[in-house]
Amino acid sequence: MKYQPVIGLEVHVQLLTDTKIFCGCPTKFGSEPNSQTCPVCLGLPGALPVLNKKVVEFAIKAGLSTNCSITPRSIFARKNYFYPDLPKGYQISQFEDPICQRGWLDIQLEGQAVKRIGITRIHMEEDAGKLVHGDLPGLHDGSGVDLNRACTPLLEVVSEPDLRSSDEAVSYLKQLHQIVTWLGICDGNMEEGSFRCDANVSVMPVGSDTLGTRAEVKNVNSFKFVKQAIEYEIQRQIDLIEDGGTVVQETRLFDPNLGKTRSMRSKEEAHDYRYFPDPDLVPLVIDDEWVERSRRELPELPEQRRQRFITELGLPEYDAEVLTANRALSEYFEAGVAAHGNAKAVANWVMGEITRSLNDSGTAIQDCPVTPLLLAELLKLIDGGTISGKIAKTVFDEMWKSGKAPHVIVEEQGLVQVSDSGAIEAIIDGIMAANAGQVEEYRGGKEKVFGFFVGQVMKASKGKANPAVVNQLLLDKLKG
């Protein structure tokens, strides 16, 4: 039998605020355990949580950027359960009336039609603390609890079960990741857990309209693992059904070392969180004016910018895609175009030399030693015939190393292109005299030798001869 996978994703997006969602403790990663805590995030009796306004602003931006409606009146709820990393015995989250509802993202796999993936809801909540096990300095038997992360602001983005393959899931996830990092509301660091994903996976016979029982796969912290975990889980469920078994609803943990999912301790009873409105937090009312103000403050989003690069700057689709991979890169590119004017020329350099050098040195585009203005100046030197495209690469390497302006490097190293026909003729004459045999071959009809002469002339001029002039003069002289 053929099976159809059905996948829905729950993504936790850690927000880039300076402080926690309900108290003023800093959210910095990697501090001494429990050093970023106060009565609120420790869950001490009588402490009063107060909502961080920035969290609301970030949530509205995320909602508007994913085509959601912003809920005019939303409330916070307590989700009750016991775990050592949850000091209050409940997590403050949103249950009924989350801040954003009913959105969507369009995805497109290569060679396929655009597909719309529904977003059920986006809600705000606090993170739990962290548990550590194993060898710790001075740790008695047991586990350690660090509450620095407790109360860190999260958005949970819940998709509809609209995804039908691991590739679709990864495509949706990448787009969501691009949007939240573009908005500057999340650093997107998956290894540190700033952007984490749980996948709900089920399978049903092709043609059926009854969803199968789903398993929730947790702990997938890279795009690669998301793909692996979903594919493993799909196959596991199919094998189980084919062997006459049934899929049970459970939480499964992905083990990246084995590339497998495994059952977490099965719960003897279904989760019963007893959600109820949190009396400590008053309702959140967002009027149209607030929503419109947020909408006006939104930056141009990646998809819009990509379209504009194609229609206004005339870039090929591929270039537009690459240059909008992240906001900083697209802004670098635009600054270069503003300073130079030729979008395609700037695109080639940004996608070529710049990207290569950034990758080789592990540098972020924000820290690129060659500014867009200096890049534009370099391109102008090529346009004006001062240097050749080949020499430009040498100049670029020097700019990268020293941060100097291109005209300074050209002057210092005497790299100005030689277009003076007298000087080039002298070189050609010398080379023809030294290679009489090849001259005869050329004149005998073996035109391929022409390339040999070009190479020799460029070499003799240390790459500085103007290639167009060299070609013309060589043609004339070889004719004899």
Is residue 84 a contact residue for other proteins (CB under 8 A)? yes
- Both tokens assigned to 152: 């860190």
> Which span sits near other proteins by CB under 8 A: 135-143, 209-217, 400-408, 416-424?
135-143
Q: Does 211 bind other proteins (CB under 8 A)?
A: no
Q: What are phi and psi of 410, to 5 degrees?
A: -60, -45
Length of the chain: 480
Q: Exactly one of 11, 119, 145, 163 binds other proteins (CB under 8 A); which one?
A: 145
Alpha carbon distance 461, 453 (integer Å)? 12
CA distance 148 to 130: 8
Give SS3 for 100.
Answer: strand
Cβ proximity to other proteins, 33 vs 369, nearer residue: 33
Q: How far apart are CA 73 and CA 285, in angstroms?
A: 4
The β-bridge partners of 11 are 157, 197
Counting contacts by CB under 8 A, is residue 261 touching other proteins? no
Q: State yes or no: residue 82 binds other proteins (CB under 8 A).
A: yes
Residue 203: half-sphere exposure toward Cβ, Cα within 13 Å:
22
- The least distance separating other proteins from the CB of residue 252, rounded to whole angstroms, comes to 12
17 binds other proteins (CB under 8 A): yes
Q: What is the CA radius of gyration of the chain?
A: 30
Name which of 282 and 408 has its Cβ closer to other proteins: 282
Burial class (CB in 10 A: 0-12, 13-18, 19+), 215: buried
Number of residues near other proteins (by CB under 8 A):
57
Q: How far is the CB of 289 from other proteins (least distance, A)?
A: 13
Choices 196-204, 265-273, 338-346, 440-448; region in contact with other proteins by CB under 8 A: 265-273
Tell me the CA end-to-end span of the chain in Å, nearest whole number. Answer: 77
Map residues 267-306 to x or -, x wherever contact with other proteins holds by CB under 8 A: --x--x-x--x-x-xxxxx---------------------
Please tell me whether residue 126 binds other proteins under the rule CB under 8 A.
no
Query: Least Å distance between CB 102 and other proteins?
Result: 20
**In angstroms, what is the minimal distance from the CB of 279 to other proteins?**
6
> Given the structure tokens 């000091």, which residue do they identify?
87
47 binds other proteins (CB under 8 A): no
Q: Of 72-80, 115-123, 331-339, 346-354, which part binds other proteins (CB under 8 A)? A: 72-80
Q: Which is nearer to other proteins, 111 or 142 (CB)?
A: 142
Decide if residue 33 touches other proteins (CB under 8 A): yes
The Cα–Cα gap between 339 and 358 comes to 21
Scanning 44-52, 202-210, 388-396, 445-453 for contacts with other proteins by CB under 8 A, the matching segment is: 44-52
Q: How is residue 224 written in tokens?
A: 């690669």
Residue (of 393, 389, 386, 394) closest to 417 by Cα position: 386
The nearest distance, CB 194 to other proteins, in angstroms, is 17
In 3-state terms, what secondary structure has residue 181? helix
Q: In what order do the strands lie in the sheet with 77-80?
A: 90-93, 77-80, 276-277
Of 346, 326, 404, 341, whose CA–CA distance to 370 is shortest? 404
Residue of the chain from 10, 42, 193, 454 that contacts other proteins (CB under 8 A): 42
Residues 118, 120, 123, 125, CA torsion sign: negative
Encoded amino acid at 60, one letter: I
Binding region for other proteins (CB under 8 A) out of 36-44, 371-379, 414-422, 435-443: 36-44
Lookup result for tokens 């350690």: 144
Whole-number Å distance between alpha carbons of 148 and 282:
25
Site membership for other proteins, residue 264 (CB under 8 A): yes
Of 42 and 204, the one with the shorter C-beta distance to other proteins is 42
Which residue number, 26 or 455, has a Cβ lying nearer to other proteins?
26
Q: Residue 84: CA atoms inside 13 Å, Cβ hemisphere, count?
A: 9
Contact between 50 and other proteins (CB under 8 A)? yes
Name the minimum Å distance from CB 131 to other proteins: 6
Residue ranges that bind other proteins, judged by CB under 8 A: 17-19, 23-26, 32-39, 42, 44, 50-54, 56, 73, 75, 80, 82-84, 131-133, 136-147, 253, 264-265, 269, 272, 274, 277, 279, 281-285
